[in-house]
Structure 1
Amino acid sequence: MPKPNLTWKPLKTDVLIVGGGTAGCFAAAALGKTPGLSVLIAEKANIERSGCLAAGVNALNAYITPGHTPDFYVDYCTRDADGIARRDLLTSMAGRLNAVTKTLEDWGLVILKDADGHYVTRGPRNIKINGENIKPLLARAATENANVKVLNHVNITDLMIRDGRVVGAYGFSVNEPVAYAISARAVFVATGGAAGLYRPNNPGFSRHKMWYPPFNTGAGYAMGIRAGAEMTTFEMRFIALRLKDTIAPTGTIAQGVGAAQVNGKGAPYEAAYGHTTSERLYGTVSENRAGRGPCVLATQGIGEDAEKDLYKAYLNMAPSQTLRWLESGRGPDTENVEIEGTEPYIVGGHTASGYWIDDGRRTTLPGLYAGGDVAGGAPQKYVTGALAEGEIAAETILEDLAHLDFAGEDETARPDYAAYLSRPAGLIDTEQLEEAMQKVMDEYAGGISRGYQYSGAELDIAARRIADLAKLSESLSASDMDDLLRIYELTDRLTVCPVLIAHLKARKETRWHSFAENADYPEKDPAYACYINSVTRDGKTAIIKRKLR
């Protein structure tokens, strides 16, 4: 079959939104209210069912419940991150959590209510919802204004730079041999974080069964890294504590029925390690390492009604877990539920990894804004926090547009997509390089097989081998646009990996057990009560230490 001939198509819009997920859709809905303002969403998949909310959720994990204040939430996030969090970003986010929730309800989201009409809470910061349709609701709200257009199935790879300012972006259709040069006055990056850097829990055909969407490849980070944007706190990896094999959420059981974490000898262990997100994971890892596994959530005897509630809850967000219970004939009332940690991810919606931004969600590159999972500094933002950041970014963009004009494109700076389509197939393919990358990261940069620990010497090996793989990736060949997409997904990951390695090496302490378990420096060091930031230029990552704010 002959390879496609690529053609370039120039587009022009006032605001380009890269990523049609949670933050991107909410920003589009806010920007679309301004008459005469053209807004374009570029989405690799389809905004109806893309991103972390594609399959729905059963709770909103960031909400100011009765009797609490936004400061209560800010304190929780800061404490869980052991101080490495931006209180300014958290404060501006937390103050909007309930308002964006009300907007979702007005758009049609079903929020569970008690007999008195109050939201049903799930802990001090969460409320229960029927959220299977949350993403279609967001997509509909994003596009209800005629001045908002969507480019579905278009993968954005690089930012368009002119005189040090971001003036658009480049990408290509994943279905047709068309590349896009999109000029914009402002660009809002709202892509997901980075999954697939490390070897996952499940091998082979089941490797997609992971906590974070496997299609989130760190593209938003990668385009910023390549353009010289400042990044922050990549070393605060996120490793989810999940139900074994299905990688379904644990919170629905832990909070829903109050199930304790118990080791193989039947002893609760959580109190011995601590109650932060990383400590709950670390306790499980440590108990298994000490030979006291398997660790479980103690659900045995919860009762038939509670068991049925769990069946329904998991059907709404992780149906494989309910199917597993039903197929085995052993539900959570009969048998405790085993738990394990996932591979590490880089995701600013749960930890503080991502772009270094100001309170208006401006990045360090003029004309570029970031929010949601790709924005750093504000951990535990979850769904509603991402919505809030999308709204904040939209308001900032509207303020800044008075000083932002179209700058035009330098066509010589276009990515050479055609090179991959024109060269013959080589001896190495994309999947082989991806597996090699995941093996390197797993064994030398603190993956599952190493109990999430790493040393400086191991990180040096990881950096060298990732650099070798990046060089090999330049010779890959694409037979069609889908092949080209897979190559760029690998390229994005290989761009993120060395930055992550540099951050892990730069924080010479262990502040978050398991998330950043430095075997050379196993204790916390007050000297590292700071932000570890970085800027990458010409392939070299320079570390910047910034004071807490």
Structure 2
Amino acid sequence: MKLKPEVLETDILIIGGGAAGCFAALTASEKSEVQVIIAEKANIKRSGCLAAGVNALNAYITEGETPQSFVDYVKDEFNGVIREDLVYTIAEKLNSVTKKIEDAGLPILKDENGDYVSRGKRSIKINGENIKPLLASEVSKKENIRVMNGLNITDYILKNNKVIGAYGFSIDEEKFYVIYSKAVICTTGGAAGIYKPNNPTFSKHKMWYSPFNTGAGYAMGIRAGAEMTTFEMRFIALRCKDTIAPTGTIAQGVRTPQVNSLGERYVKNYGKATTINRLYSTVMENLNGRGPCFLKTKDINGEQENELFKAYLNMAPAQTLKWVDSNTSPSTENVEIEGTEPYIVGGHTASGYWIDIDRKTTLEGLYAAGDVAGGSPKKYVTGCFAEGEIAANHAISYIENKTNEKIDELEIQSELSEINGFFQNEGTIYTIDQVEEVMQKTMDEYAGGISQGYSYTKIKLKTALNRIDELIQISKKLKANDCHELLFIYEIIDRLYVAKVLIAHLMARAETRWRCYQENADFPEKDDNNWMKYVNSIYKDGNVQILLRDLIERREIS
């Protein structure tokens, strides 16, 4: 095979057609003269984290709460190291973007007074199994949005440290795309599959985060020299064992406690019942011989049980099917829980691009929104909507009176030659699956995976880094027989670059600030005196350069 070049031009290129990408496109489309391309490697109707649906909007300002109380909550959950300015600008928009998605047709549950039904202090219930097709439908109505499904973006086009577009290839046709754009918004999501999953071999894609989000946006930014932040704040989900179904549906939906094998409520023994402590306490109970651990659902009433059956059918049917298949139910048997492998995801933690309040990255012309944007944990679906809206609004202002810049034809041919080279590689003794397996095993054993209780040391991290560097070199020699295999190669390469930066961040923070998420065995305690700061990085000449930045507090937004 040999890909052939095709050149396109647009005003705004959005990379990734998930929650943030769709909302950014819809916002930009309100200016009819603006032409938008959404590049989506799958199909926008069922792509990204919302592909299978969701049963709640977990970031909402409910009655009695304010944007500032939301910031305070996020700050407390993550021990002070967040971007208050970013979280606040999201919080200001949570309710307005919720209204927009409801007006588009999303069913939001209401009580007899017509008020939204809350699931928690900052969460409301929805019937969201079709939230992604609904978003895709809204996008399809806009004449100035072009959706390019099956298009995998590989790298940004750079000119004088400015992003002027992106390269990509079609998964279905033998085409190499050069897309020039006056502004680029990256909304590709986070990174799964870096660590060995807790359901390996044939079930390796049964994981908490979308297995098709492989860190492409992060990796493109890393290779382009964008400043990244807080990769060391990994995310590890506490889930129902085997099915990887969400535990919040039970914990918040029917208000059940976590208990160990002795029936003891154990979370309180480890501090406040934060998201992190619910995970950390479960890991510790298992390590100390008091596991397995459960959500105490036994003896819930029939109405609550039916609610759980329906809720999981909407978003994680494997859990309902497990009950049916084993001829049991949540009211007759407690639900066992466990942690997943670590993920890098800016929607739940703070990993991602270093951005300003307009969602501009450190590279001119490039914006980041959603899971790929750093600094603002717990943004969830509505927070991704909010960031997509913010990024698009500023991008519209940025492109005023601008024309598309171009690069030399020789640069295009060089990029095309590199991509076509994977079809021509011969004699390699490694397969894509083998590189993936070694990467995941390395990260699991030497960079704080499940087998290590999420803990790591500097010595082990150095071993991991050496092996990841070796794998990066090996990955360049992999062979693709078609465009689908070419996609898998680029997904592996992207995850390896993310792993390299992650290791550097884990090595840099000489404390343990977020239990399990960042469990440094060399420095097992929190150190507020020296580490109330951000760990940032810039990749240059094959090395990850660490930068430490002071905390940014909330700024009044005029």
Report the counterpart of residue 276 of structure 1 in structure 2.
274
1:404-443 alignment runs, 5 A limit? 404-414=402-412, 415=415, 416-424=418-426, 426-443=428-445
1:340-489 alignment runs, 5 A limit? 340-402=338-400, 404-414=402-412, 415=415, 416-424=418-426, 426-489=428-491
Alpha-carbon distance between aligned partners in 2 of 1:35 and 1:447, rounded to the nearest angstrom: 48
Task: Go from structure 1 to structure 2 and tell me whether the alpha carbon gap of 1:232 and 1:115 turns closer, same or farther (over 3 Å shift).
Answer: same
Residue 162 of structure 2 aligns with an amino acid whose one-letter code is R
Alpha-carbon distance between aligned partners in 2 of 1:404 and 1:212, rounded to the nearest angstrom: 38
Corresponding residue to 2:25 among 25, 28, 33 = 28
Corresponding residue to 2:254 among 253, 257, 260 = 257
1:280 Cα deviation from its structure 2 partner: 1.0
1:290 Cα deviation from its structure 2 partner: 0.1
Residue 279 of structure 2 aligns with an amino acid whose one-letter code is L
Which deviates more, 239-248 or 298-307? 298-307
Report the counterpart of residue 11 of structure 1 in structure 2.
8
1:231-242 alignment runs, 5 A limit? 231-242=228-239
Report the counterpart of residue 244 of structure 1 in structure 2.
241
Alpha-carbon distance between aligned partners in 2 of 1:540 and 1:119, rounded to the nearest angstrom: 50
Report the counterpart of residue 179 of structure 1 in structure 2.
176
Alpha-carbon distance between aligned partners in 2 of 1:349 and 1:5, rounded to the nearest angstrom: 37
Asked if the contact 1:367/1:404 (under 8 Å) is kept, the reply is no
Residue 540 of structure 1 aligns with an amino acid whose one-letter code is N
1:482-501 alignment runs, 5 A limit? 482-501=484-503
Corresponding residue to 2:546 among 537, 543, 547 = 543
Alpha-carbon distance between aligned partners in 2 of 1:275 and 1:360, rounded to the nearest angstrom: 33
1:405 Cα deviation from its structure 2 partner: 2.8
Asked if the contact 1:279/1:512 (under 8 Å) is kept, the reply is no
Alpha-carbon distance between aligned partners in 2 of 1:296 and 1:276, rounded to the nearest angstrom: 17
Alpha-carbon distance between aligned partners in 1 of 2:93 and 2:236, rounded to the nearest angstrom: 27
Alpha-carbon distance between aligned partners in 2 of 1:276 and 1:403, rounded to the nearest angstrom: 48
Q: Deviations over 1:490-509 (max 9, x none)?
A: 00001101100000000000
1:45-444 alignment runs, 5 A limit? 45-273=42-270, 274-402=272-400, 404-414=402-412, 415=415, 416-424=418-426, 426-444=428-446
| Secondary structure of 2:399's aligned partner | helix
Q: Unaligned stretches of 5+ in structure 1?
A: none
Asked if the contact 1:425/1:478 (under 8 Å) is kept, the reply is no
| Secondary structure of 1:402's aligned partner | coil
Alpha-carbon distance between aligned partners in 1 of 2:408 and 2:48, rounded to the nearest angstrom: 31
Q: Deviations over 1:237-281 (max 9, x none)?
A: 000000001000000000111110101111001111132211110
TM-score by length of 2: 0.97
1:425 Cα deviation from its structure 2 partner: 5.4
**Alignment coverage as a number of residue pairs:** 546
Report the counterpart of residue 555 of structure 2 in structure 1.
none
1:5 Cα deviation from its structure 2 partner: 2.2
Report the counterpart of residue 509 of structure 1 in structure 2.
511
> After TM superposition, where is structure 1 displaced by more than 6 Å over at least 4 residues in a row?
none
Residue 278 of structure 1 aligns with an amino acid whose one-letter code is I
Alpha-carbon distance between aligned partners in 2 of 1:226 and 1:240, rounded to the nearest angstrom: 28
Alpha-carbon distance between aligned partners in 2 of 1:404 and 1:464, rounded to the nearest angstrom: 44
| Secondary structure of 1:111's aligned partner | coil
1:402 Cα deviation from its structure 2 partner: 2.2
Q: Deviations over 1:279-305 (max 9, x none)?
A: 110000000000000000000000222
Alpha-carbon distance between aligned partners in 1 of 2:489 and 2:282, rounded to the nearest angstrom: 36
Q: Deviations over 1:81-134 (max 9, x none)?
A: 111111110111000000000001100000000111110000110000000111
| Secondary structure of 2:273's aligned partner | coil
Residue 58 of structure 1 aligns with an amino acid whose one-letter code is N
Alpha-carbon distance between aligned partners in 2 of 1:453 and 1:281, rounded to the nearest angstrom: 14
Residue 469 of structure 1 aligns with an amino acid whose one-letter code is L
Which deviates more, 304-313 or 525-534? 304-313
1:403 Cα deviation from its structure 2 partner: 5.7
Asked if the contact 1:169/1:183 (under 8 Å) is kept, the reply is yes
Asked if the contact 1:29/1:143 (under 8 Å) is kept, the reply is no
TM-score by length of 1: 0.99
Alpha-carbon distance between aligned partners in 1 of 2:410 and 2:96, rounded to the nearest angstrom: 45
1:406 Cα deviation from its structure 2 partner: 1.2
Residue 297 of structure 1 aligns with an amino acid whose one-letter code is L
Alpha-carbon distance between aligned partners in 1 of 2:275 and 2:350, rounded to the nearest angstrom: 13
Alpha-carbon distance between aligned partners in 2 of 1:298 and 1:494, rounded to the nearest angstrom: 39
Asked if the contact 1:42/1:152 (under 8 Å) is kept, the reply is yes
Alpha-carbon distance between aligned partners in 2 of 1:485 and 1:173, rounded to the nearest angstrom: 9
Q: Deviations over 1:431-480 (max 9, x none)?
A: 10000000000000000000000000000000001101111111100000
1:410 Cα deviation from its structure 2 partner: 2.9
Residue 350 of structure 1 aligns with an amino acid whose one-letter code is H
